[in-house]
Amino acid sequence: MYTLKKEAASTKARLGEFKTDHGVIETPIFMPVGTLGTVKGVSQKSLIEQIHAQIILGNTYHLYLRPGNEIMKEAGGLHKFMNWNKPILTDSGGYQIFSLSENRKLEEEGAHFKSHIDGSKHLFTPENVVDTQRILGSDIMMLLDECPPYPSTFEYAKNSMELTHRWAKRGRKHFLETNDLYDHKQNQFGIIQGSTYKDLRIESTKFITDLDFEGIAIGGLSVGEPIPLMYEMADLNTDYIPKNKARYLMGVGTPGNLLECVARGIDMFDCVMPTRNARNGTIFTKNGKVNIRNAQWKNHHKPLDEDFPSELCNTYTMAYIHHLIKHNEIFGLVLASVHNLTFYLWLMEKVREHIANDTFAEWYPEMVRKVESKI
């Protein structure tokens, strides 16, 4: 259940909270991605004690394939399987099926696809995706949808959106007719589609909100369209989403993207970028991005930022981190991953503080400039 706490005066930024049986999620929030029941290179202890994650993501497609529904049910759901007692959101797997392209076929019944692991054939329907997420026991489950590629023709985008709408009705009906498997309540979010066509986006927003989901996700963005167009579509969608519903922009993004989209009324974000970029040597900081693999750091015997609350910043020198990452030492990848996620959650904390203090509109443009710059 989402509660709107405060709206900013001169932007669409807002403070809120989403209550689950595993805890309250303060929004705006960033959600670390734990596709297979783990955030890559990061322990559950680090997520809680260092990163201060309030909620993490799991992926239905990947967890359905391995370890599978039988083992997950015997474990008592994903929370017990991974020993995580905070909220979890699970994606439906729609985006992963979209990514398979050559190995999937969409029909009215659902999505036929071949496993990327062994080529075995499977079918996801709006109903069995709900059933799988019942077994996972996520606090927030997502609908099965089709994510159209960018660019798409108007005809393709319209047909895709209408298929997503028909699947949404079936998925919502099945959710309401089935029960939670464990001792906590589950919520279901609908997903808006429509590619980058304004009239389709508006139509989809109205259709999905009429089904009265517990929250609304904005899908089909961050799939290759220009960044200004992504902002425009997100801004348009939030104009039509009721104020009493949480708004989740799927798969976004850079620190600057988050700030710009908070200003456009988004509450929730997820992205693999903090950990993936960490493994490639990019360190996010409040003063910009650092490519720690660059030779300029190999003899830099000072910490990155002694005042920032991450082990990478306040314990080790840049030369040491450069050495670890340059040679793909696991410890370096772990330090960088924990740091980047700590930064993302720190940034969201600062966002909430500035909204609460009525200073967000003045603060965020300069912060966007800083975090998107290169050091």
How much is the pLDDT for 100? 79
Which residue of the set 139, 145, 270, 305 is catalytic?
270
Write out pLDDT tens, residues 128-137: 999 999 999 9
At 219, the pLDDT band (50, 70, 90 cuts) reads very high
Residue 293 has which token pair? 């693999």
Could you confirm whether 91 is annotated as catalytic?
yes
Place of tokens 């988050």: 258
Contacts of 218 (CB under 8 A, 6+ apart): 191, 192, 233, 234, 237, 238, 247, 248, 249, 250, 266
How much is the pLDDT for 96? 84
The residue type found at 285 is: T
Average pLDDT (247-258) is 98
At 101, the pLDDT band (50, 70, 90 cuts) reads confident
Could you confirm whether 270 is annotated as catalytic?
yes
pLDDT at 46 over 80: yes
User: 227-240 and 198-210 are packed helices; what angle lies between their axes, rounded to 10 degrees?
Assistant: 40
Q: Report how far residue 242's alpha carbon sits from residue 261's, in angstroms, rounded to the nearest whole number.
A: 17
At 102, the pLDDT band (50, 70, 90 cuts) reads confident
Percentage of the chain with pLDDT > 70?
100
Contacts of 285 (CB under 8 A, 6+ apart): 304, 305, 308, 343, 371, 375
Sheet holding 121-124, edge to edge: 104-106, 111-114, 121-124
Average pLDDT (280-289) is 97
Q: Which domains does the chain have, with CATH numbers?
A: 2-271 (3.20.20.105), 281-372 (no CATH)
Q: Report how far residue 104's alpha carbon sits from residue 193's, in angstroms, rounded to the nearest whole number.
A: 19
How much is the pLDDT for 83? 98
Of the two residues 314 and 58, the one the predictor is more confident about is 58
Q: Report how far residue 29's alpha carbon sits from residue 348's, in angstroms, rounded to the nearest whole number.
A: 6
At 93, the pLDDT band (50, 70, 90 cuts) reads confident
Q: Report how far residue 2's alpha carbon sits from residue 252's, in angstroms, rounded to the nearest whole number.
A: 21
How much is the pLDDT for 340? 98
Which residue of the set 91, 139, 145, 267 is catalytic?
91
pLDDT at 99 over 90: no
